[in-house]
Amino acid sequence: MAPLRVLATSARTLSLLVTPPGTRYHLPRPIGWSLEEVGGGPVAQGTLKTAALFLGGLEPDRAYRLRCDLGTLDLRTAPCAGMIDAAEFGADPARADNAPALQEAIAATPLGGTLRLGPGRFESRPIFLKSAMTLLLDGAELAAVAGREDWPILPARDAAGRPLGSWEGLPEPCFAALVTAQDAHDLTITGRGIIDGGGDRGDWWSWPKETRQGARRPRTLHLAYCDRASISGVTIRNSPSWTVHPYRCRDLTVAALRIENPPESPNTDGLNPESCEDVRIEGVAISVGDDCIAIKAGKRAPGQTDHLAPTRGLTIANCLMERGHGAVVLGSEMSGGIHDVTIRACDFDRTDRGIRLKTRRGRGGEISNLKVEDVVMRGVPTPLAVNAFYFCDPDGKDGWVQSRAPAPVDDTTPRIRDISLRRIEARGVEIAAAALLGLPEAPVTGIEISDFRVSFAEGAKAAAPLMTLGCPEMRHAAVWAEFAEITGALTPAPPQEEDLTPC
349 is catalytic: no
CB contact set of 375 (below 8 Å; sequence gap of 6+): 24, 343, 344, 345, 346, 347, 348, 354, 423, 424, 425
Distance CA 263, CA 352 (A): 12
Distance CA 466, CA 472 (A): 9
Say which DSSP state 400 is in.
H
CA-based max dimension of the chain: 72
Q: How far is CA 28 from CA 25, 49, 153, in A?
A: 9, 8, 47
In the chain, the amino acid numbered 370 is L
Q: Are strands 26-37 and 63-68 parallel, antiparallel or unpaired?
A: antiparallel
Distance CA 421, CA 316 (A): 14
| Residue (of 391, 393, 475) closest to 437 by Cα position | 391
Specify burial of residue 76 (Cβ count, 10 A radius: 0-12, 13-18, 19+): middle
Catalytic residue among 196, 290, 291, 352: 290
Helix (H) or strand (E) holding 105: helix 99-108
Q: How many CB atoms lie within 10 A of CB 112?
A: 16
325 is catalytic: yes
Strand partners, 328: 293, 355
Coil, helix or strand at residue 88:
helix
Catalytic residue among 138, 325, 339, 347: 325
Peptide bond before residue 335 is cis, with ω within 30 degrees of 0: no
Task: List residues with catalytic annotation.
Answer: 290, 325
